[in-house]
Amino acid sequence: MDSFQETVFKLKKYWADRGCVIQEPYDIEVGAGTMSPETFLRVLGPKPWRVGYVQPSRRPADGRYGDNPNRLYKHQQLQVILKPTPKDVIDQYLGSLEAIGIDLSKHDLKLEEDNWESPTLGAWGIGWQVMLDGMEITQFTYFQQCGGMDLDLCPAEITYGLERIVSFLQGKESVYDIDWAPGVKYSEVRYFDELQLSVYNFETADVEMLWEALKRHEAEAQRLVDGYKLVEDPAEKRRYPLLGAYDQVLKCSNLFNLLDARGAISVTERVGVIGRVRKIAVGVAQAWVDQEPFRTMKEVA
């Protein structure tokens, strides 16, 4: 029986063999693998791209102090982007399940309609949740829009819920009982993240500080987005730090989630804050598309 890490190795190898760049997780806290610039920015524009990476994903409101066997504050997603989508994409995906030891002739696999939408990213797609013996193991999405724009190519996004798949493979009732490495349980690796960060997210995070930080990161992102519009020189455009602006967007998104978990955002405020984050996310995406030709040109001597 493969350990958690062994399964991750196999999936990465599987997709590496199919032409994917295997990336490491993005180093800013995100709520989902989609938010990593490897997905959010790379799906934009006409350039083909294939990438796979594990992204630890933080969902403060889902924290359960390490008590719930199936819900986690931070879970690991394995994210694969295939842009453009190969015709046999679903066969390739099914092959990845077989590669980690799931005999699909003996298990019930269904693709059930499940379209995905992220109002904060101005993104949506059409797809399925993949059900294996009644359990959702993967979200499969054909990206249609990102940053409020139709996508030139239509990438497939495959998001594996690693904890679910591995607890299925290992036959474990609780995520914490998963063998992460031979002889090392998931709980030994992650339990205190769950406990202490649940305490922080739900009980002790300084609401005033979070609001202030949100405001400042938002202002910084907006400053950069606005600044890009004033740049005319191609060389200046090429080096303009839109990636820096996007990092600020990610900070805002996480701060929003923290405030939400803390119960600090009223229902009426909620829509407004989502709109603010969306505005800067869409702003960066549009600028990023505009910058594409300048990034492609050779560095000015």
Partner 1 sequence: MLPFFLEVGAEEIPDWMIPAALEQLGKDFQAVLDGHKLGGTVTRTDGTGRRLVLWADGLIVRQADSEEIVSGPPKGANPKAVEGFAKKNGVSVDDLQVETTAKGEYFTFRRQVAGRATGELLAELLPDLIQKLNFPKSMFWTGKGGPKFIRPIRWIVALLGDDVVGFELAGVTSGRETFGHRRLGSRAAIPVTIAGYESALEENFVIVSSAARRAKIEREIQALGAVQADAKLLETLTFITEYPAAILGGFDASYLTLPKEVLTMVMRFHQKYFAVSAADGSLAPNFIAVMNIPSDPEGHVVRGNERVLRARFNDARFFYDIDQKRTLTDRVADLANVTFQAKIGSYLEKTTRMVALAQELGGEDAAAAAYLAKADLTTEMVKEFTDLQGIIGGLYIAAQGGKAEVAKAVYEHYKPLSMEDSIPSTATGQALALADKIDTLRSCFAVDMIPTGSKDPFALRRAAQGVVKILMEGELTPSLRELCAGDAKLEEFFVERLKHYFREVKGAAYDEIAAVLAVGWADVKDALARLDAVTAVRPTPNFEPVAAAFKRIKNILTQAGTLPEGAPDASLFNEAESGVAAAAEQAAIKDGGYAAQLERIAGLRPAIDHFFDEVLVNDPDPVVRDNRLRLLNQLITEFSSIADFSEIVTKSL
Q: Is 203 in the site for partner 1 (CB under 8 A)?
A: no
In this chain, which of 17, 24, 27, 113 binds partner 1, going by CB under 8 A?
113
Q: Which amino acid is at 174?
A: S
Q: Which is nearer to partner 1, 171 or 183 (CB)?
A: 171
* Residues 9-68 within binding reach of partner 1 (CB under 8 A): 68
Distance CA 66, CA 181 (A): 19
Q: Which is nearer to partner 1, 112 or 226 (CB)?
A: 112
In this chain, which of 1, 104, 297, 300 binds partner 1, going by CB under 8 A?
104
Q: Is 112 in the site for partner 1 (CB under 8 A)?
A: yes
Q: Is 108 in the site for partner 1 (CB under 8 A)?
A: yes
* Residues 156-195 within binding reach of partner 1 (CB under 8 A): 168, 171, 173
Q: Is 117 in the site for partner 1 (CB under 8 A)?
A: no
Question: CB of 36 within 8 A of CB of 55?
Answer: yes
In angstroms, give the least distance from the CB of 216 to partner 1.
Answer: 27
Distance CA 98, CA 141 (A): 20
Binding segment toward partner 1, per CB under 8 A, in 20-28, 49-57, 108-116, 193-201? 108-116
In this chain, which of 85, 170, 196, 222 binds partner 1, going by CB under 8 A?
85
| Number of residues lying near partner 1 (CB under 8 A) | 41
Q: Is 151 in the site for partner 1 (CB under 8 A)?
A: yes
**Residues engaged in binding partner 1 (CB under 8 A):** 68-71, 84-85, 87, 90-91, 94, 104-113, 115, 125-126, 128, 132-135, 142, 144, 150-154, 168, 171, 173, 266-268
